[in-house]
Amino acid sequence: MSQEQLDIAFHPHSIAVLGTSGNPLSLGYNFLAHLVNYGYQGRIYPVTPKWEEILGCPVYPSLTDIPDSVDYVICCLPAARIPDFLRECPGKGVRVVHLFTGRFSETGQAEAAEQEQALLRLARELGIRLIGPNCMGIYHPAERIAFGYDFPTEPGRLGMFFQSGATCTEFIYYTSIRGIRFSKVVSYGNALDIDESDLMAYLCQDKDTDVITSYIEGIKDGRKFFETLGQTARKKPVILLKAGRGKVGAEAAASHTAAMAGSLKIWEAAIKQSGAIHAGSLSDMIELAVSFYCLPPIHSTRVGVVGGGGGQSVLSADEWEEAGFDVAPLTQDMEEMIRQTMPELWWGWIKNPVDVSLLPVDAVSAGLNSRIMKMMCQSDHFDLVVVNIGVGGPFDKAIFTEYLRNNVEEIIQVAKMNTKPLVVVLDTGAMGPKEFDNERWKSIAEASSKLIDAGIPVYPSSGQAAASIIRLIRYYQWRETVG
């Protein structure tokens, strides 16, 4: 098993960056810069014969020149130089090597594929485990190890194993804005040695990881993979995005990570059977990650919806229903409360979804919508409360902004009661620099961030919220049936 070696890779006392450089356009430079920038606390050894000091670190001409032992190596050497380097590893105590180096089997060249296999044989002889080749390696915030800029420094509970490095980085960027933080992340490329099943098994037993996401182009051993997936899904949600699904996509996957892609239908069926969650696209996986990360288990589908205007209420009723939710009627208590608060308005007109644009402005100012929200959260008749925030009211910036701020405060107060899963639907739109300078859009972005910072999941649409949350409910329902 690779657990012990992965422990070393995630908790190294020292890291050497082989083939580093002072040129900011080289990856060797950037891997070193990440360790320095993120404040990695172990010993850092840049290795290259061409430089003496990079980023304030003294440089060693070769691995053997390092005066101490080395736990973990990030290798950016050209392919041809890797065998010699590997042979030096045992003498320095190196147990795990991350090969950033690419241009192996993914090139489609027989010679390069043979070279890759020879590396595997050599590593096995030498007792060294390999991550990669052709990948970005490890992001482990708890140890301040990262492979990209602007990654969150504080750790969280999402574990990831991604075959593509850039997609891994993008997923971290897009989900960290949405409030997600990370336990252990691996970009693993061609999976020559340590593969997707090893990484999943590791994240399965990792007590810092609550939810797992994965981007996979192809697997080396289907039986091992689906066995591991089935075991893992029984313990934690595993969300899988399968890429290389079509004819051209599969060819592209072969060029990218030398993966044999396989038919989508087989994949979907096997993922479903194992109990894992199948993501249809990267944006679908982002919404699923937000749902599984931010929400507790939900066991049934009765949803109460409040907020936004008439059109948004109608569309959200459609979208929650279409996803499989029960948009349950308001309870008698709630109807009575509304009747008493607004005797002049009540004709059984206010329903679930509660269209707040029907309420007079003074009733909204008096907090009627937050009372409805609160009652929904306290009621046994709902399993989930959804707050719609509309951006299309008829008022000018000052009024809109004040209303939105109050609304956000009310939502955060209700969420703090912690009585019921509560989510917000608010589309911040594709803002550009002009919107950054516009008070209306700025307040929308601020509202979204405030809610996210308070731990409340915020979705761009009812449809996306419903499609991901229904899979969360089905997952936990399935978990109950399998004990």
- Min dist CB 252 to its own copies, Å, is 4
Compute the least distance from the CB of residue 331 to its own copies, in Å.
15
Given 10, 38, 45, 147, the residue binding its own copies (CB under 8 A): 147
Q: What angle do CA 71, 74, 76 make, to 5 degrees?
A: 150
SS3 assignment, position 401: helix
Choice from 243, 376, 411, 470 touching its own copies (CB under 8 A): 243
**Contacting its own copies within 74-93 (CB under 8 A):** none
Q: Point out which residues pair with 385 in neighbouring strands.
A: 304, 422
Query: 3-class SS at 451?
Result: helix
> 10 Å Cβ neighbour count for 159?
25
Say whether residue 253 binds its own copies (CB under 8 A). Answer: yes
Collapse the DSSP code of 194 into the 3-class scheme (helix H, G, I; strand E, B; otherwise coil) and give the result: coil
Q: Select from 141, 159, 244, 457 the one that contacts its own copies (CB under 8 A).
A: 244
Please give the residues from 308 up to 327 whose contact with its own copies meets the rule CB under 8 A: 308-315, 317-319, 321-322, 327
Cβ atoms of 325 and 301 closer than 8 Å: yes
Answer yes or no: are the C-beta atoms of 89 and 126 closer than 8 Å.
Answer: yes
Burial class (CB in 10 A: 0-12, 13-18, 19+), 49: exposed
Which of 30, 214, 301, 401 forms a contact with its own copies (CB under 8 A)?
A: 30
Size, binding site for its own copies by CB under 8 A = 103
Nearer to its own copies, 275 or 308 (CB): 308
- Rounded Cα gap, residues 483 and 475, in angstroms: 12
Of 159 and 304, which CB lies nearer to its own copies in the complex structure?
Answer: 304
- Contact between 95 and 129 (Cβ < 8 Å): yes
Contacts of 322 (CB under 8 A, 6+ apart): 463, 466
Q: For residues 299 and 175, what is the distance between their CA atoms, to the nearest angstrom?
A: 25
Q: Which of 69, 283, 300, 418 contacts its own copies by CB under 8 A?
A: 283
Three-point CA angle 338, 339, 342, nearest 5°: 80
Which residues in 385-444 contact its own copies (CB under 8 A)?
A: 390-397, 399-400, 427-436, 438, 440, 442
Q: Which is nearer to its own copies, 123 or 426 (CB)?
A: 426
Looking at residues 443 to 472 of the shown chain, list those that interact with its own copies (rule: CB under 8 A). Answer: 445-446, 448-449, 452, 458, 460-461, 463
Please give the distance of CA 323 from its chain centroid, rounded to a whole number: 22
Residue with smaller CB distance to its own copies, 74 or 89: 74
CA torsion, points 415, 416, 418, 423, in degrees to nearest 10?
Answer: 20
Task: Report 191-230 residues binding its own copies (CB under 8 A).
Answer: 215, 217
Q: Nearest distance from residue 235's CB to its own copies, in Å?
A: 27
**Could you give the string, one character per residue 332-371, with x where binding to its own copies holds by CB under 8 A and - elsewhere?**
---------------xxx-xxx-x-xx--x----------
Q: Which stretch binds its own copies (CB under 8 A): 88-96, 117-125, 148-156, 372-380?
A: 148-156
